[in-house]
Structure 1
Amino acid sequence: MKLKFLILAALSPIVAAAQKPNFTISGKIGNLNKPAKIYLDYGSDGSGKSDSCELVNGTFKFTGYIANIASGRMTLSREGIRDKEIYGTGGLGDVIYPSFGKENIQINSADSLYNAKWTGSKVYDESIAFIKAVGPPVMTIHHNANFILSHATPEQKKDTLFFKALDKQVNDMQASRRAKILEFAGKNPNSYFAMHSLSEANYRNKPEVILAVFNKMSEKLRLSYDGQSLYKLLNADKVTAIGSAAPNFTQKDVNGKPVSLSDYKGKYVLVEFWASWCSPCRAESPNLLKQYAIYKDKGFEILGVSVDSDKAKWLEAIKKDGLTWTQVSDLKGWESEARKVYGISGVPANFLISPDGKIVGAHLMGEVLNKKLNELLN
């Protein structure tokens, strides 16, 4: 016992030094004061943290520790209500998704976080250059689409062709971005952002296509946290191929009761990966509710698997969206064990499992899901 104590005592200065703050983000947004707040959620190499800061005459400051380049979300709420800004504004909240490093960064804007200028961050500048090369991130694409929707005329809001055209525009932009990410990664094997985004390009691309590009990236990037995570995802596709036996998993429901995928043997079950903070996930909820009502008496079930880490927000989202099927989560966030087993690189994502436990569909959304269920259950 004494030896163990001495070892821990010897290690404690090292741990303390490792956690010493190594980045600062400070700035000024207009002349905002209380109750206005800025929220910062950020993660690096699998670890994450949330922080907040009240604005005083528009000024704010964050300090913290990151192991590597961080991906984050910054939210400015003039009412001091973070979730309302993220979820309650129809996708038009004052929210940005920056990347930054171990740097002293300054942010300035006369009116909003969305229009703020960043200085002092080489990492942020590199991320912007990457975006210019491959196209806007998914969240920006959806933000712009929501902006168009918010300014649509009453006639347009009744026009199905208007919505189909907008949906096609969003899908085309995302497809273009995925293709350009692959092209950029092939030409820039030392780019952190190329490696970081290859998991996004993995969506609707065959794993061997991504692996061919991955194998040409620098050894440092391939052995990085992002690189190793991507490698596992790419190989997970073999496990979750159409026709394969669905990997079993067990997680606790909202009441703490263990639920296993194997409990659903004999029924078609849609394993739906989602999160309370995922706007596209929650936008799919009305369609899932409709399909569940149509087919639940015909041998169809849905098992919601959340990649949340905050139980209160998870439960709130279930209640607000009126989800009536079983929901489970290990509350490990993006480190969810079920997510790892199924190789999910983003949410929403799902797998349709047959009564005999085989995967018969994957990543089925909207009308694609509806058509598949109609084929199988009608």
Structure 2
Amino acid sequence: MKAALCLLITNNALAQKKAPQFLIKAKIANFTDSLLFLNYGTLSASSIDSAVVKNGVFTFKGHVKEPAVAMIFTKNFKVKIDLYLENSNIAVEGDANSQFKYKVTGTGTTKEYEQLNQRFMDNRIRTVALFQKAYDLKNAGDTVAAKQLQARADSQYQWEYKARHEYIAGHPKSYISAFELLGYTTTITLSNSIKLFNGLDASIKESNIGKEIAARIELLSKVEEGKPAQEFTQSTPDGKPVTLSSYKGRYVLVEFWASWCGPCRAENPNLLKQYQLYNNKGFDILSVSLDNNKDNWLKAVEKDALPWTQVSDLKGWSNEVAVLYGIRAVPASFLIDPAGKIVATGLRGETLNKKLETLFGQVPAN
């Protein structure tokens, strides 16, 4: 019995020793902090580690059950390096003064992801340069040339979305395709995302990230256009509970935002204008804040002069309504009809304005 127990312990120890590991060795020029972090895994199940940095040199080591997306970063995100981890040796080189000048060297999935990422980084460098040149020309008074460059920059920016889509469709056995698909899947892209997911190899569908995509598709299928809106209750700043069902009989735009979100704040003047135009015709807005700081939330509401109802549980990205509706980016919105059915998602700017004009008719200018 003792011999058998010793043998079992020995075998377990050998198994642990033989477990493959990843080893990241890195050197970052002009790095002044003393600490870096590594986060890896899926969105629903991730791990985090830290490393002390000396003269820009640091290492990370560990084990992953399957290739996993990862990020090396500092607290202020001045350094942010995206990579894919697998149990092998990985080398990282870069410069803390340049967010685009990082090189990751590895094999397998790590190499595959780096090659794809470099394509996107090269395009991003060219696109940023065009946006800057267009901005300079506009300030110099050459609005015609600025508009032309802006159009080129917009086209280059949109190329990245097309390239990611093509990669997913063309690499059904790749973990990277699964990662790209997870980020691509929203209420707006849901139909296409389902087709892309169905085209993935069975081994990828059954992986951890594949299961996360399936769960996200299932969640978003409950809040797509044409479905009854998911009921919820959340409180106003003074603690008054507000239910979505209390808006039955009116069109209501459920708007997810946050005080720290620049695009959200930029859209608020347009929301205010539409609210003033159509509120007495049966249109309302219910804003759900993803803030975790009450003072910041209330200051933003006051500064932007928002008269409609505001709710939040102050849990940030873990806001219970945001989780229920699958929100991973803001601004995000759902237009719900008087019967409680979702009739449109992602409405902003002119798309929102035109939709409301279709529903309520054009309001004469004062």
Q: TM-score, normalised by structure 2?
A: 0.69
Counterpart CA distance in 1 for 2:345 and 2:198 is 26
Distance 1:168 1:258, change over 3 A: farther
Aligned partners of 2:25, 2:220: CA distance in 1, in Å?
42
Aligned pair in 2 of structure 1 residues 205, 252: CA closer, same or farther (>3 Å)? Answer: closer
Query: CA shift at 1:347, angstroms?
Result: 4.8
| Structure 1 pair 154–126 and aligned structure 2 pair: CA distance change class (3 A) | closer
After superposition, the Cα gap between the structure-2 partners of 1:28 and 1:249, relative to the gap in structure 1 and judged at 3 Å, is: same
Q: 1:215 to 1:155 in 2, by over 3 A?
A: closer
TM-score when normalising by structure 1: 0.67
Q: Distance in 2 between matches of 1:276 and 1:95?
A: 24
The residue aligned with 2:266 is: 287
Contact 2:312 2:319 in 1 (8 A): no
Whole-Å Cα distance in 1 between the matches of residues 328 and 262 of structure 2?
A: 19
The alpha carbon displacement at 1:152 in A equals 4.7
Aligned to 1:211: 194
Describe how 1:232-251 pairs up with structure 2 within 5 A: 232-236=215-219, 238-251=221-234
- Find the structure with the greater CA-based Rg: 2
* Aligned partner of residue 227 in structure 1, secondary structure: helix
Distance in 1 between the 2:243 and 2:149 partners?
A: 39
Shift of 1:153: 4.8
Gaps of 5+ in 2: 1-11
Residue 111 of structure 2 is aligned to residue 125 of structure 1: yes
Other-structure match for 1:46: 44
Aligned to 2:285: 301
Judge conservation of contact 1:303–1:327 (CA < 8 Å) in 2. Answer: yes
CA-to-partner distance for each residue in 1:180-199, whole Å, 9 max, x for gaps? 44444444321111122224
Q: Is the 8 A contact 1:69 1:99 kept in 2?
A: yes
Query: How far, CA to CA, are the matches of 1:43 and 1:256 in structure 2?
Result: 37
Instruction: Give the drift of 1:237.
Output: 5.2
8 A contact 1:96–1:114 mirrored in 2: no
SS at match of 2:120: coil
The one-letter amino acid paired with 1:156 is K
Give the deviation of 1:290 after TM superposition: 0.3
Q: Which moved more, 1:20-29 or 1:159-168?
A: 159-168
CA contact (8 A) 2:134 2:147 kept: no
Deviations 1:184-242 (A, max 9, x none): 44443211111222244545876454434422322121122332332344455553343
Maintained 8 Å contact 1:190/1:217: yes
Q: Deviation at 1:150?
A: 4.4
| Structure 1 residue aligned with 2:27 | 28
- Partner residue, 2:87: 102
User: Is residue 363 from structure 1 mapped to residue 346 from structure 2 by the alignment?
Assistant: yes
Would the alpha carbon gap of residues 268 and 122 (structure 1) be closer, same or farther in structure 2, given more than 3 Å must change?
Answer: same
1:162 Cα offset (Å): 7.1
Return the offset for 1:283. 3.4
Q: Distance in 2 between matches of 1:366 and 1:243?
A: 22
d(CA) in 2 for partners of 1:249 and 1:169?
Answer: 43
- CA drift of 1:109 comes to 2.7
What is the alpha-carbon distance in structure 1 between the residues aligned to residue 81 and residue 356 of structure 2? 37
User: Partners in 1 of 2:26 and 2:151 — Cα distance?
Assistant: 38
Q: Deviations over 1:286-332 (max 9, x none)?
A: 332202332445242242353x8xx35x9758757956562435848
- Give the 3-state SS of the residue equivalent to 1:118 in structure 2: strand
User: Partner of 1:97: helix, strand, or coil?
Assistant: strand
Question: Aligned letter for 2:100?
Answer: Y
Aligned-residue offset at 1:82: 0.7
- Other structure's SS at 2:100 match: coil
In 2, Cα distance between equivalents of 1:197 and 1:305: 27
Please tell me the root mean square deviation across aligned C-alpha atoms, in Å. 4.4
**Percent identical residues:** 27
Aligned to 1:9: none
* Closer/same/farther in 2, CA of residues 373 and 205 from structure 1, 3 Å limit: closer
Give a deviation string over 1:324-371, Cα, whole Å, max 9, x none. 5624358484x7664564355755432122343222221123332233
